[in-house]
């Protein structure tokens, strides 16, 4: 499979998603890029904006086994990973695997469950395995976590631990639909005469793995790598940041940048790719100072301030790699 093949598959996936999901023109390509980059995705916004619909549709179009878990305050870690249960018939303990043994695991409203239970996902997200009663079990490949959460100010929610936030490659805010898109959503629902939109798989799990492996061959220049490093370092010294983005954030910028570039029809990364994805990759990895929080400064404000101050590497035509014959045009409207 070539980067051109990946780009074509990605366009087909985005087109299929757009038949069920209205709007989300900027967040959908980034969410898909995160999956292609072997990452995990967190959707954070107020209820009712279609976060769960997008996650479910993404799993279907990618041909992945899909499990949805509704997070509640009384949820236990074993409800996610599974447990060793005693079988009276055999008088032996048997392992009953939890819902996390799937291709795409949707933790719906993840911040409505206690931090102890949220942390049950840490090993799975970092190492694609879980430990049950002292025994380690590998998770299926590919394996991805997509979680939704409501703003922590909402009643009945908990803050996600920083260690877990850092393991999400991106945090995406969906936002409200425009009046035109909202009217389109309602019209589509009325026209199909049923609640659920029918979406068909575009690729298989095996093809997704092949696409992920192909991204390893996408070119990223040393200047772009330095640009990623400079951005994350600048977040650590920003006056409004108590804790800046981690080195994992730097790596995520580079890996996601490759995937986003291919979705845009290129087999090389340019600074504009990094600028587009940086708020989604870095904002949730930054801890605000008390003063910044009290004055209404957001994590996205810090990232945007850094992007404005860090020098952008030159990308003249003589410095860019020659595009392959199969390079396609950018897909800015892929989510329409």
**Interval 296-311: pLDDT, tens:** 899 999 999 999 999 9
pTM assigned to the model: 0.85
Q: What is the DSSP string of 111-154?
A: GGS-HHHHGGGHHHHHHSEEEETTEEEEPPSS-EEEEEE--TTS
Q: Specify if 321 maps to a domain.
A: no
Q: Give per-residue pLDDT as tens, 196-233.
A: 778 889 999 999 999 999 998 888 999 999 999 999 99
Comparing CA positions, the residue from 9, 15, 99, 1 lying closest to residue 334 is 15
Show the domain range for 265.
Answer: 3-309
CATH of residue 274's domain is: 3.40.50.300
Six-digit token string for 219: 């070119």
According to the model, what pLDDT value does residue 154 have?
A: 65
Q: Specify if 29 maps to a domain.
A: yes
Q: Calculate what percentage of the chain has a pLDDT beyond 70.
A: 92
Instruction: Domain count for the chain, please give it.
Output: 1
Q: Give per-residue pLDDT as tens, 138-167.
A: 998 899 999 988 876 666 677 787 888 889
The C-alpha R_g of the chain, in whole angstroms, comes to 21
Q: Specify if 120 maps to a domain.
A: yes
Q: What is the dihedral of CA 203, 209, 210, 214, to 10 degrees?
A: 120
Given a cut of 90, whether residue 181 has pLDDT beyond it is no
Q: Specify if 180 maps to a domain.
A: yes
CA dihedral (218, 222, 227, 232) positive or negative: positive
Q: Specify if 33 maps to a domain.
A: yes
Distance CA 330, CA 219 (A): 17
Are 17 and 57 within 8 A, CB to CB? yes
């Amino acid at each position: 499979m070539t980067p051109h093949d990946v780009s074509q598959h990605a366009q087909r996936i985005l087109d299929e998603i757009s038949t069920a999901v209205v709007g989300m023109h900027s967040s959908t390509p980034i969410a898909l890029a995160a999956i292609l980059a072997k990452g995990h995705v967190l959707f954070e916004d107020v209820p009712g904006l279609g976060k769960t619909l997008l996650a479910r549709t993404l799993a279907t179009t990618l041909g992945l086994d899909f499990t949805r878990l509704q997070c509640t305050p009384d949820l236990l870690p074993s409800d996610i990973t599974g447990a060793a249960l005693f079988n009276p018939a055999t008088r032996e303990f048997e392992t009953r695997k939890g819902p996390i043994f799937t291709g795409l695991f949707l933790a719906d409203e993840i911040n409505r469950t206690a931090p102890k239970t949220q942390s049950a996902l840490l090993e799975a997200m970092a190492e694609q395995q879980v430990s049950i009663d002292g025994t380690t079990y590998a998770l299926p490949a590919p394996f991805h976590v997509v979680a939704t959460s409501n703003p922590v100010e909402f009643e009945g929610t908990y803050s996600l631990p920083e260690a877990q936030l850092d393991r999400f490659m991106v945090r995406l805010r969906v936002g409200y639909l425009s009046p035109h898109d909202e009217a389109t959503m309602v019209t589509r629902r009325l026209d199909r005469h049923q609640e659920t939109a029918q979406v068909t798989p575009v690729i298989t799990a095996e093809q997704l793995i092949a696409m992920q492996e192909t991204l390893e061959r996408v070119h990223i220049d040393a200047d772009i790598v330095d640009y990623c490093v400079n951005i994350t370092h600048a977040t650590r010294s920003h006056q409004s940041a108590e804790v800046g983005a981690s080195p994992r954030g730097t790596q995520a910028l580079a890996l996601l940048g490759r995937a986003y570039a291919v979705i845009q029809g290129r087999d090389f990364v340019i600074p504009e790719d990094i600028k587009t994805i940086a708020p989604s990759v870095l904002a949730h990895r930054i801890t605000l100072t008390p003063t910044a929080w009290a004055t209404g400064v957001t994590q996205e404000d810090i990232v945007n301030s850094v992007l404005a101050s860090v020098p952008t590497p030159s990308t003249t035509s003589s410095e860019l790699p020659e595009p392959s014959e199969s390079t396609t045009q950018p897909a800015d409207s892929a989510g329409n």
